Homo-oligomer: A and B are copies of this chain.
């Protein structure tokens, strides 16, 4: 394949970690920029794990039709497939490094772009360090992506704005739904975010008028005191019928235990992923709903936004997709400039008007770090967010895309097809 494009530089791009509504916009940005610069783009199937097993797709062929790129940008999840593969230090396990660099050589790869979160930046950091050590010319650039918005050294991460927009819009609808009967009720809405409350906080953007936001917002940054929570709910129910509580899946009690782990089905819902993180949390909202029903005697309901919040491309933020696209493109440009071991990032120049610029940061400084919601963004009682949070987050959910509708549903790009042989 590389002989055919011998005079073109070849960019290899992969997607890693959890799906988002914006990760394909970054892929489109990589492809379009590489194409405009006269480079050839190959995609890894299922991240570096699939690539080691031979998974490669020619994006110049797949995305030749401009309509394909439009559909790609509106398609949730990872078009190329993803992985949660943990690359060990090469001193411990050199084999994957040998395989990967041999394949880079086989395909004549000029640069590897990896779109992902914290763990993916760890992969890029390790590969670039190893490449430098063995004198490889391959450039390694990370493109940030995570709905969790927990990467350091970037104002925010692509994927967050779209998830936040969906959460805010859904919360607005849930608040309406929950207040339909003339009786006392509490509705718990469980939102993703294992250690950082950026997503749960976004529920407070539910209405621009501020009327239909949740009454409480419980973030993992604040230890959950269930008695204090019940007191606030009881107070809310004294003055109106309905209390709506946004709760992060990752809230912990005073002993540091996940609230969801105290539920009966924790053994089912909680597992560790390849990075030693809890892979799947669930049940926090149900647990708190049950507790509240028992203690306050009101009707309760638990709603889990589940995977819907990370794949709702029909509610994507155009700001988010535009930035995702730009960061993918900036990654190509920096690689063609000869950079390596970097991550493209966003620097906010101004809140109002909202202005951002792209930047390059050292990927080693990003890997394995985590950015939480700062205390100044959290209400003093720990059960809500402040106007500073809104000032930060509101621009990120602004602007709509037009889904391409067919038969009454959004049309996505045709999938690449099943797993590797």
Chain A contact residues, CB within 8 Å of chain B: 18-19, 45-46, 49-50, 55, 75-78, 81-84, 165, 168-170, 172-174, 176-183, 205-209, 211-212, 239-241, 264-265, 268, 280, 286, 290, 293, 301, 303-308, 310-315, 317, 394, 397-400, 405-412, 414-415, 418-420
Given the complex, which residues of B lie within 8 Å of A183, measured CB to CB? Answer: 419
Given the complex, which residues of B lie within 8 Å of A170, measured CB to CB? Answer: 308, 312
Given A77-B176, A178-B307, A181-B83: A168 and B409 interface contact (C-beta under 8 Å): yes
Beta-carbon nearest neighbor of A165 in chain B? B408
Whether the pair B301, A307 counts as a contact (CB closer than 8 A) is yes
Whether the pair A310, B177 counts as a contact (CB closer than 8 A) is yes
Whether the pair A77, B412 counts as a contact (CB closer than 8 A) is no
Given A49-B182, A182-B81: A205 and B409 interface contact (C-beta under 8 Å): yes
- Number of this chain's copies in the assembly equals 2
Whether the pair A418, B307 counts as a contact (CB closer than 8 A) is no
How many Å lie between the Cα of A206 and that of B315 in the bound state? Answer: 16
Given the complex, which residues of B lie within 8 Å of A209, measured CB to CB? Answer: 406, 411, 414
Given the complex, which residues of B lie within 8 Å of A55, measured CB to CB? Answer: 182
Contact of A176 among B264, B306, B412, B419 (CB under 8 A): B412
Whether the pair A82, B412 counts as a contact (CB closer than 8 A) is no
Whether the pair A179, B415 counts as a contact (CB closer than 8 A) is yes
Whether the pair B49, A173 counts as a contact (CB closer than 8 A) is no
Contact of A241 among B18, B49, B290, B418 (CB under 8 A): B418
Whether the pair B397, A176 counts as a contact (CB closer than 8 A) is no
Extra pairs beyond A168-B409, A303-B307 (13, CB < 8 Å): A19-B180, A50-B182, A76-B176, A77-B180, A174-B307, A174-B311, A176-B311, A182-B419, A207-B411, A208-B408, A208-B411, A314-B315, A398-B407
Contact of A78 among B180, B212, B313, B414 (CB under 8 A): B180
Given A208-B411, A407-B205: A268 and B290 interface contact (C-beta under 8 Å): yes
Contact of A408 among B81, B286, B399 (CB under 8 A): B399
Whether the pair A408, B398 counts as a contact (CB closer than 8 A) is yes
Contact of A412 among B212, B280, B415 (CB under 8 A): B212
Given the complex, which residues of B lie within 8 Å of A315, measured CB to CB? Answer: 314
Query: What are 21 A-B interface contacts by the 8 Å CB criterion?
Result: A19-B180, A46-B182, A49-B182, A55-B182, A82-B181, A83-B182, A84-B181, A170-B308, A173-B410, A179-B415, A205-B409, A207-B411, A208-B407, A209-B406, A211-B415, A265-B286, A303-B306, A304-B304, A304-B306, A308-B308, A397-B408
Whether the pair A172, B306 counts as a contact (CB closer than 8 A) is no
CB distance from A390 to the nearest CB of B (A): 9
Given the complex, which residues of B lie within 8 Å of A394, measured CB to CB? Answer: 407-408
Given the complex, which residues of B lie within 8 Å of A286, measured CB to CB? Answer: 265
Whether the pair A176, B75 counts as a contact (CB closer than 8 A) is yes
CB distance from A161 to the nearest CB of B (A): 9
3 A-B pairs with the lowest CB-CB distances in the bound complex, closest first? A208-B407, A397-B408, A77-B176
Contact of A415 among B177, B212, B317 (CB under 8 A): B212
CB distance from A331 to the nearest CB of B (A): 21
